[in-house]
């Protein structure tokens, strides 16, 4: 029987204190591994001159050179420094590695892991092919799939957050795709954090309905639909208000064109939990997220979520019970769900209660345990044979 897993390396381009879905997920996994007594080495791009290597209990942060990521202020992508990563692995001696970036740094990390006979799992955290489709670059979609398949098939397995994504990638020739779900902290995110004073700051009365959006303020998040939904409802009901929480390249335009919309900027921790809980209906119009942690955070906060039927919403929402799902690409159905909830206070109240109840059964503890099991499985398999994989990315 092999020795228990005690040392794991994670390679990522984003980590705390950055605020995004990948950083949040990895933060939860790393904290869970540390609590289980596993020593974690995180290798990530340096985000600034003060972003240096550091050590904490069961955690080593190794920073490597990077370059600014276009369109994402303050974030850097890692350079393919195989030698630097290999040196870090040689010193740390991990028993397994998890690669959460599919860029050049991730590819270099897989190469370094193979050199040191370290088994690797990869994570599919970003729908690059969906982003390509969104920006009308469809001719590149097949090329993106080829590269991603090449990348992931050089690892022991690929972890995805939903069954739909597992099935989609399997159909496109990805090997050993496994579901690793996402949890939610139903203590941090709770209806108990609802703040009447915050709603008063928003200029919202008790009888008003707040449509809330939390996330990156960018075109790929399909915010035009959220705005159209708000305008449609507000035209016939002055009780409807809209609050945006987050930052991004479209924020200035929205503030200019819609001065009546409350744009609160980026929020963290307790403030974020209070903003969630002080809303009423949560709009998730995105069609590009791999999961969407904000969906389960909104449910835990006691909000009625309106989303398309995919990703986190598909996994956790039943229409009319604990949220509302629109068929993918049917924007009018999305807006009609918002109209239904705004016109049906009893239904809205029941859905909000059911959303909270459902979220209480989504624990990060069980997700971390499953993650450890996946790492153990990769460790027992050993290094994948490149000859049995798609070893040429553009064929």
- In this predicted structure, what is the pLDDT of residue 236? 93
State yes or no: pLDDT of 140 exceeds 90: no
* Together in a domain, 34 and 141: yes
Q: What is the pLDDT of residue 128?
A: 56
Q: Residue 300's pLDDT band (boundaries 50, 70, 90)?
A: very high
Q: Which residues contact 254 (CB under 8 A, 6 or more apart)?
A: 217, 223, 227, 244, 261, 263
Separation of alpha carbons 80 and 234, rounded Å: 50
Q: Do 228 and 302 fall into the same domain?
A: yes
Catalogue the E-assigned strands of 25-101: 39-45, 54-56, 59-64, 66-68, 76-78, 96-99
What's the pLDDT score for residue 51? 77
Residue 327 lies in a domain: yes
Mean pLDDT over all residues of the chain? Answer: 91
340/353 same-domain check: yes
The total number of structural domains that make up the chain: 2
What pLDDT shows up at residue 395? 45
**pTM tops 0.75:** yes
Q: Please check whether residues 244 and 297 belong to one and the same domain.
A: yes
Q: Are residues 334 and 371 in the same domain?
A: no
CATH number at 35 reads 3.40.50.2000
Kindly state whether residue 204 falls inside one of the protein's structural domains: yes
pLDDT over threshold 60, residue 349: yes
Range with the poorest average pLDDT among 78-92, 98-112, 280-294, 377-391: 377-391
| 320 and 351 part of one domain | yes
Please check whether residues 150 and 232 belong to one and the same domain.
no
pLDDT at residue 206, rounded to an integer? 87
- For tokens 């019970």, name the residue: 321
Domain range spanning residue 175?
Answer: 7-183+364-388
Quick one: pLDDT at residue 191?
98
Query: Both 92 and 134 in a single domain?
Result: yes
Percent of the chain with pLDDT over 90: 78
pLDDT band at 303 (very low <50, low <70, confident <90, very high): very high
Shared domain check, 173 and 82 = yes
Task: List the one residue out of 364, 342, 67 whose CA is nearest residue 207.
Answer: 342
β-partners of residue 308 are 326
Query: Which of 69-83, 99-113, 126-140 comes out lowest in average pLDDT?
Result: 126-140
**In sequence order, which residues have a C-beta less than 8 Å from that of residue 123 and are 6 or more positions away?**
98, 99, 100, 158, 159, 160, 180
Tell me, yes or no, whether 198 and 327 share the same domain: yes
The number of beta carbons lying within 10 Å of the beta carbon of residue 182 is 24
Clarify whether residues 145 and 215 are in a common domain.
no
Query: Is the predicted pLDDT of residue 320 greater than 90, yes or no?
Result: yes
Q: How many residues does the chain have?
A: 395
Same domain assignment for residues 340 and 318: yes
Residue 98: inside a domain = yes
- Express each pLDDT in 168-224 by its tens digit: 999 989 999 999 999 999 999 999 999 999 999 999 998 999 999 999 999 889 999
Domain contains 395: no
Residue 2 lies in a domain: no
Question: What pLDDT, on a 0 to 100 scale, did the predictor assign at position 388?
Answer: 45
Q: What is the mean pLDDT of residues 375-383?
A: 89
**Quick check: is 393 in a domain?**
no
295 domain-assigned:
yes
Q: Tens digits of per-residue pLDDT, 69-89? A: 776 666 777 888 999 999 999
Predicted pLDDT at 16:
86
Q: Pick from 85, 88, 96, 146: which is nearest to 121 by CA?
A: 96
Asked if the structure places residue 96 within a domain, the reply is yes
Which three-class secondary structure state does DSSP give residue 352?
helix
């Amino acid at each position: 029987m092999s020795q228990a897993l005690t040392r794991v390396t994670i390679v990522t381009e984003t980590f705390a204190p950055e605020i995004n879905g990948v950083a949040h997920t990895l933060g939860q996994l790393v904290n869970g591994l540390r609590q289980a007594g596993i020593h974690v080495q995180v290798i990530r791009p340096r985000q600034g001159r003060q972003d240096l290597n550091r050590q904490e209990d069961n955690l080593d942060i190794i920073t490597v050179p990077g370059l600014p990521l276009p369109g994402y202020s303050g974030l850097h992508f890692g350079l393919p420094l195989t030698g630097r990563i290999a040196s870090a692995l040689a010193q740390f001696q991990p028993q397994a590695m998890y690669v959460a970036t599919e860029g050049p740094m991730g590819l270099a990390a897989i190469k370094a892991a193979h050199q040191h006979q370290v088994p690797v799992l990869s994570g599919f955290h970003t729908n690059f092919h969906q982003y390509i489709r969104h920006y009308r670059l469809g001719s590149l979609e097949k090329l993106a799939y080829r590269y991603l398949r090449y990348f992931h098939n050089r690892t022991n397995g690929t972890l995805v957050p939903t069954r739909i994504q597992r099935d989609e990638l399997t159909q496109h020739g990805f090997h050993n795709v496994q579901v690793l779900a996402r949890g939610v902290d139903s203590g941090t995110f709770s209806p108990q954090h609802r703040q009447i004073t915050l709603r008063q700051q928003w200029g919202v009365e008790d009888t008003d309905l707040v449509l809330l959006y939390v996330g990156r303020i960018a075109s790929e998040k399909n915010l035009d639909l959220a705005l159209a939904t708000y305008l449609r409802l507000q035209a016939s009901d002055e009780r409807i208000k809209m609050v945006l929480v987050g930052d991004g390249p479209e924020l200035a335009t929205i503030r200019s064109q819609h001065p009546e919309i409350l744009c609160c900027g980026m929020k963290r921790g307790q403030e974020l939990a209070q903003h969630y809980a002080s809303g009423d209906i949560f709009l998730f119009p995105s069609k590009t997220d791999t999961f969407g942690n904000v969906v389960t955070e909104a449910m835990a906060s006691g909000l009625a979520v309106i989303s398309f039927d995919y990703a986190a919403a598909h996994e956790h929402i039943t229409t009319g019970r604990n949220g509302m799902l629109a068929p993918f690409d049917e924007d009018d159905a999305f807006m009609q769900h918002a109209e239904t909830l705004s016109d049906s206070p009893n239904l809205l109240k029941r859905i909000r209660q059911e959303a909270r109840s459902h979220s209480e059964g989504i624990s990060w503890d069980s997700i971390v345990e499953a993650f450890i099991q996946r790492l153990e499985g990769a460790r027992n398999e050993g290094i994948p044979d490149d000859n049995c994989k798609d070893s040429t990315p553009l064929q």
